[in-house]
Amino acid sequence: MHLRRNTAIAIYNSVFVGYPEGLRLDGTATYANFNGTATTTGASNATLQGITFSNMSADYKEAGGTLFADIKTYFETATRKNNPAASTTVASLLLNANAFTLGSAADFRPQSTSPLVTNANTATVPTGLTQTTYRGAFDATTNWTSGWANFDPQNADY
């Protein structure tokens, strides 16, 4: 996530895998927004909660006047329930073996013992978002793509 100047983004219970950097805060105004210090545009409007990083080279990257230690402090505050594990392998997420399979066998649900199916941040979410108990787009039991999504681009008529 490369977040810049006075962002007001809200990201809940999400999984980011395989990028060089997990979180880059760019600019002193961005940093001021994230640490909650009042700026000329007001206090923090950004929310990052229940986020997991996996298989990345670095958890955080400083840029434009932000400090690595401040980014780390913000992201790793216990009440946010973020999981900055950049060096963790994708295998440790216990994804379904068919997550990377094309065709009707594609299945993106994590295994029932995956760390993604527990410990999400269940804080009240803004109107329009669905509160969940898991991280990512899928829980361990419901494949909501079944019956309407197609994962066979080589053979499908569009």
The predicted-structure confidence for 64-86, as pLDDT tens digits, reads as follows: 666 677 788 888 888 888 888 75
Q: Is residue 98 part of a domain?
A: yes
Say whether 89 sits in a helix, a strand or coil: coil
The answer to whether residue 113 sits within a structural domain is yes
Total domains in the fold of the chain: 1
Residue 86 in domain: yes
In a domain, 64, yes or no: yes
Do residues 13 and 49 lie in contact, with contact meaning Cβ atoms separated by under 8 Å? yes
Q: Is residue 154 in some structural domain?
A: no
DSSP-assigned letters across all residues of 11-64? EES-EEES-SEEEEEESHHHHHHHHT--BTTBS---EEES-EEES-SEEEEEET
Distance of CA 148 to the CA centre of its chain: 25
25 lies in which domain range? 2-117
Q: What's the confidence (pLDDT) of residue 42? A: 41
Identify the segments of the chain with pLDDT beneath 70.
Answer: 27-45, 64-67, 86-87
Is there a contact between 70 and 31 (Cβ–Cβ < 8 Å)?
yes
Q: Considering the domain boundaries, does residue 111 fall inside one?
A: yes
pLDDT at res. 33: 55
pTM of the model: 0.78
